[in-house]
Amino acid sequence: MITYDNPRQLLSNPATVEPGAIRWSSPSNLAIIKYWGKYGQQLPRNPSISLTLDAASTDTTLYYEPKESSDIKGIDLQFLFNGKPREDFAAKVNQFLSSLLPIFPFLEQLSLRIDTTNTFPHSAGIASSASAMSALALCLCSLEDELFASLQEDEAFHQKASFIARLGSGSACRSVYGQAAIWGQLPDLQSSSDFFAIPFGQEMHPVFHSFHDDILFISKAEKSVSSRAGHGLMEGNIYAQNRYEQARSRMHHLLESIRQGDVTTFGEIAEAEALTLHALMMTSTPPYLLLEANTLAAIREIQAFRKESGHPLYFSLDAGPNLHLLYPAEIAYAIQPFIEEVLLPYCTDGQYLPDAVGEGPVQLEAQDE
């Protein structure tokens, strides 16, 4: 079992640390094969694969300086979301950082301030936890490297960032890589792991490099059942074991379609996975429903459009009512008018986020405090 615990990684003289700041922008991701069901410390019941998004991202700056007094125990954190204090998020981040002390003991020796902003609404089923937790994990790994020069090698840096992001939110571990990432052990992929994600972009057919993933905001309301609760309910779901086997088998076919550039197989599996995810919610005890009437109406429009036009436009869903539209860049000329004329009326305030496969997180110049 990989833990990364390192009780010796303490600053010998914390008072001499120069105040500084680290900033990362990290994207969200859309799982094509879904992770739904976990055990132990955020370990997945089945492997998953996602496309890394471009526009939907979180921009996080981690400011640090020596603690005024070593008498202040635990994590000393100030947390700002969109420039304003958010007590509920602050409490969660504080708890997360405290849980990371065996891995980053030096966090207890510093005063921290986290400033974070999203380019999209949080808790609306757009996996905001994936971008937020990956951005934070990248900041923490950069801080460790800044203080100890311990993560100089790119692969080691990303692997640890993915491991840390996973502890914050499972799906976040896939966001540290551009294009596409796989999380969970697969027998025919030696480097794959339940503990961190691995990049898959290098094996992707070029058609997927510029693939669109536009997000239709069917509803921006917060989810009635959190992902955490949803994963928990899988433990009592009578279909769970079959589901985990199905995910493995679909994974095998999906990887082949991504390698070959087989958009039809890719799209059919993506839609089947989206509906399976929501079927699992509907068959949990107690059952619940995150889809809205407009989600279903828009799905019908997409199916009819595909049939009539022959264009490979497919949909996916996250754990919420919003729709992801998946299609190759070369048919954007035909899809965009369809979105604007037919699908936007189903969206809240007629809004959507045009997005596409992206190159992954970027480290940015931190702004002065």
Which residue, 171 or 348, has its beta carbon nearer to ligand PMV? 171
Q: Which amino acid is at 348?
A: T
- Least separation in angstroms between CB 278 and ligand PMV: 10
Supply φ then ψ for residue 311, to 5 degrees: -80, 135
Helices 240-260, 263-282: axis angle to 10 degrees equals: 160
Contact 54, 27 (CB under 8 A): yes
CA nearest neighbour of 15 among 56, 69, 52: 69
Which residue, 109 or 193, has its beta carbon nearer to ligand PMV? 193
Determine which residue in the list 77, 127, 181, 218 makes contact with ligand PMV, applying CB under 6 A: 127
- Least separation in angstroms between CB 141 and ligand PMV: 19
- Only one of the segments 31-39, 68-76, 137-145, 336-344 lies at the binding site for ligand PMV (rule: CB under 6 A); that segment is 31-39
Q: Which amino acid is at 24?
A: W
- Only one of the segments 151-159, 168-176, 216-224, 281-289 lies at the binding site for ligand PMV (rule: CB under 6 A); that segment is 168-176
Which positions ≥6 away from 356 have C-beta within 8 Å? 53, 54, 55, 210, 211, 212, 213, 329
Per-residue interface string for the shown chain with ligand PMV, residues 259-298, x marking contact by CB under 6 A: ------------------x---------------------
SS3 140: helix
Determine which residue in the list 21, 26, 34, 64 makes contact with ligand PMV, applying CB under 6 A: 34
Long-range contacts for 301-307 (Cβ within 8 Å, ≥24 apart)? 301/342, 301/343, 301/346, 302/343, 305/338, 305/342
- Least separation in angstroms between CB 165 and ligand PMV: 9
Beta pairing class for 323-327 and 212-216: antiparallel
CA dihedral defined by 230, 232, 236, 239, rounded to 10 degrees?
A: 50
Q: By rule CB under 6 A, what count of residues binds ligand PMV?
A: 15
For tokens 């997180």, name the residue. Answer: 361
Does residue 115 touch ligand PMV according to CB under 6 A? no
Does residue 35 touch ligand PMV according to CB under 6 A? yes
Which residue, 319 or 347, has its beta carbon nearer to ligand PMV? 319
Does residue 159 touch ligand PMV according to CB under 6 A? no
Does residue 169 touch ligand PMV according to CB under 6 A? yes
- Only one of the segments 134-142, 164-172, 254-262, 306-314 lies at the binding site for ligand PMV (rule: CB under 6 A); that segment is 164-172
Which residue, 31 or 151, has its beta carbon nearer to ligand PMV? 31
CA dihedral defined by 290, 292, 293, 295, rounded to 10 degrees?
A: -100
Per-residue interface string for the shown chain with ligand PMV, residues 198-237, x marking contact by CB under 6 A: -----------------------------x---x------
Which residue, 109 or 131, has its beta carbon nearer to ligand PMV? 131
Q: What residues numbered 310-329 form the site for ligand PMV, per CB under 6 A?
A: 318-319
Region for residue 123 given its phi and psi (left: phi exceeds 0; alpha: psi -120 to 50; beta: otherwise) = left
Which positions ≥6 away from 20 have C-beta within 8 Å? 63, 64, 65, 146, 366
Tokens of 96: 């997360």
Q: What residues numbered 42-81 form the site for ligand PMV, per CB under 6 A?
A: 48
Residues near ligand PMV (CB under 6 A): 31, 34-36, 48, 127, 129, 169-171, 227, 231, 277, 318-319
